Amino acid sequence: MKLIRNFVNGEFVTTHGARFAKVSPVTGEIVAEIESADEALVNSAVSAASAALSGYWSLFSVSQRTALLQAIAAEIGRRSKEFIDAEIADTGKPYALASTLDVPRGAANFLAFSDLMQRTPQETWTTETPDGRGAINTVTYAPKGVIAVICPWNLPLLLMTWKVAPALACGNTVVVKPSEESPSTATLLAEVMNAVGIPPGVYNVVHGHGPKATGEFLTQHPGVDAITFTGESKTGEAIMKNAAEGLRDVSFELGGKNAGIVFADCDFDAAVEGIARATFLNCGQVCLGTERVYVERPIFERFVTALASKARSLKPGDPYASDTTIGPLISREHREKVLSYFAKAKADGATCHAGGGIPSLPENYANGAWIEPTVWTGLPETSAVIREEIFGPCCHVAPFDSEDEAIARANDSPYGLATSIWTQDVSRANRVARRIRVGIAWVNSWFLRDLRTPFGGAGISGIGREGGSHSLAFYTEMRNVCVKL
């Protein structure tokens, strides 16, 4: 049985303490055991991070740090097959997805923030003074300190490195707590850190659960200077309570209940393809995913038929098979949650156009967490299926008659992460995008990323923005140095 250990101060440690099992969502078999980090181990990790911060990492020059970041990216590339296998073992996602999205983005995150650090413009201001000599102000960027990085399971390497890369680039040290469901790639990254010469204590990994366990030991720790978290909005609330102690800064990327808006003048095939991708990619487990679709009435029926046909065409199965296009949910527990919404949809009177249950698969997958891609119509906007984040491969499609109506319905949610708008009228696209209360509005696209742009959510979808210079703002303490001449 594979044993996954914690990584503290440059070494994998054996704790002989509590362990928990990693169950494959493909087969239901236990594929690994994970050593849970208790409070003492979390304390050691934070102490190691703190010592590394003041001892050397914050003193490295930008070029020393960026050279190491580039080496990390290269090493992830060199070992990409191991990273892909690790991601598949934890999540069951298709090889085609892990190899084109998760792992390349893991490497790209390090390159992007290495590049950004080298290009950050210097901000200076000259100030007039009564004696006529003046003063020069220079803005400097000091690392914020020890950063707790708390991650979810849906895109484990991508989302973790999206935080770790800018944190390290800015001279911070990190203690990462991956999700208990996806411990493998953070652990593999520890090997990469050692291989490329990242000094001990700069990158630490503690495994375990969240509430009253590893996650909370970390967020409550007074030695943690800031917390960056990706996960559910409710968890964000719990973490924020702990962050309040000591007034620690937070950056939160939280849940979504994202609306797609399809106008009758769209490129029809591109819109169907785009909404299908936004609904079913990663088995619907993407925070940016579309679970509410509003389609202008003249193309509504045709759109529903085409989307349902796309849903039915997705093929579950062996993650390594080239024709597999959809994986399982992360766990049986999560499938219970998603199935409870399938039941609610039925009870609330939905018409189901595709899916709605569990697929028939070979016997060896019987204990996995498989579920059918599902498309509904006919629900009232008050249904929990339309109001709450499901995080599964499913969406509800409703018709609309005017731009104002589409905007009002899209905005009728406490979430505000992302939207995708499908139209060939550029003026309308701009108008609508500006009126939807979200952090990210895509037009004729979805999940098209430029890592220099601000990423985050409005409402209960997040606090703050990361990406490009916005990451630097979170991961550094800006200091103005005013020199009187």
Residues of the shown chain interacting with ligand NAD in the complex, contacts defined by CB under 6 A: 150-154, 159, 177, 179-180, 209-211, 215-216, 219, 230-232, 235, 238-239, 253-256, 287, 389, 391, 417, 457, 461-462
Catalytic residue among 151, 266, 283, 287: 287
The letter for the amino acid at 365 is Y
Which one of 41, 101, 227, 288 is in contact with ligand 6OD (CB under 6 A)? Answer: 288
| Contact partner, 374, from ligand 6OD, ligand NAD, none, Cβ < 5-8 Å per class | none
Determine, following the binding rule CB under 6 A, whether residue 344 of this chain makes contact with ligand 6OD.
no
| Contact partner, 162, from ligand 6OD, ligand NAD, none, Cβ < 5-8 Å per class | ligand 6OD
**CB-CB neighbours of 129 under 10 Å:** 10
Determine, following the binding rule CB under 6 A, whether residue 431 of this chain makes contact with ligand 6OD.
no
Angstrom CA distances, 202 to 42, 55, 178, 253, 481, stand at 14, 10, 16, 23, 27
Beta carbons of 200 and 53 less than 8 angstroms apart: no
Say whether 191 is catalytic.
no
Of 213 and 438, CB closest to ligand 6OD = 438
Alpha-carbon distance 455 to 440, whole Å?
Answer: 7
| Contact partner, 409, from ligand 6OD, ligand NAD, none, Cβ < 5-8 Å per class | none
Of 85 and 253, CB closest to ligand 6OD = 253
- Residue where the block lists tokens 């973790």: 160
| Contact partner, 276, from ligand 6OD, ligand NAD, none, Cβ < 5-8 Å per class | none
Nearest to 233 by CA among 144, 337, 152: 152
**Binding-site residue total for ligand 6OD (CB under 6 A)?**
10
Report the half-sphere exposure of 81 (CA within 13 A, side-chain side): 1
Determine, following the binding rule CB under 6 A, whether residue 449 of this chain makes contact with ligand 6OD.
yes
Which one of 72, 103, 286, 330 is in contact with ligand 6OD (CB under 6 A)? Answer: 286
| Contact partner, 177, from ligand NAD, ligand 6OD, none, Cβ < 5-8 Å per class | ligand NAD
The letter for the amino acid at 370 is W
Determine, following the binding rule CB under 6 A, whether residue 46 of this chain makes contact with ligand 6OD.
no
Of 300 and 442, CB closest to ligand 6OD = 442
**Minimum distance from residue 418 beta carbon to ligand 6OD (Å):** 9
Query: Considering only 283-291, 302-310, 349-357, 396-404, which stretch makes contact with ligand 6OD by CB under 6 A?
Result: 283-291
Query: Considering only 270-278, 280-288, 328-336, 421-429, which stretch makes contact with ligand 6OD by CB under 6 A?
Result: 280-288
Of 56 and 447, CB closest to ligand 6OD = 447
**Minimum distance from residue 457 beta carbon to ligand 6OD (Å):** 10
Which one of 159, 224, 281, 410 is in contact with ligand 6OD (CB under 6 A)? Answer: 159
Determine, following the binding rule CB under 6 A, whether residue 209 of this chain makes contact with ligand 6OD.
no
Which one of 37, 155, 176, 379 is in contact with ligand 6OD (CB under 6 A)? Answer: 155
Residue sitting closest to ligand 6OD (CB): 287
Determine, following the binding rule CB under 6 A, whether residue 173 of this chain makes contact with ligand 6OD.
no
Query: Considering only 128-136, 219-227, 284-292, 340-348, which stretch makes contact with ligand 6OD by CB under 6 A?
Result: 284-292
Say whether 232 is catalytic.
no
Q: Are strands 11-13 and 135-143 parallel, antiparallel or unpaired?
A: unpaired
Q: Which long-range contacts (CB under 8 A, 24 or more apart) does 334-341 make?
A: 334/369, 334/391, 334/392, 335/369, 335/370, 335/371, 337/390, 337/391, 337/392, 338/371, 338/390, 338/391, 338/392, 338/394, 339/371, 341/384, 341/385, 341/388, 341/390, 341/392, 341/394
Determine, following the binding rule CB under 6 A, whether residue 162 of this chain makes contact with ligand 6OD.
yes
Catalytic annotation, residues: 253, 287
By CB under 6 A, name the binding residues for ligand 6OD.
154-155, 159, 162, 253, 286-288, 449, 455
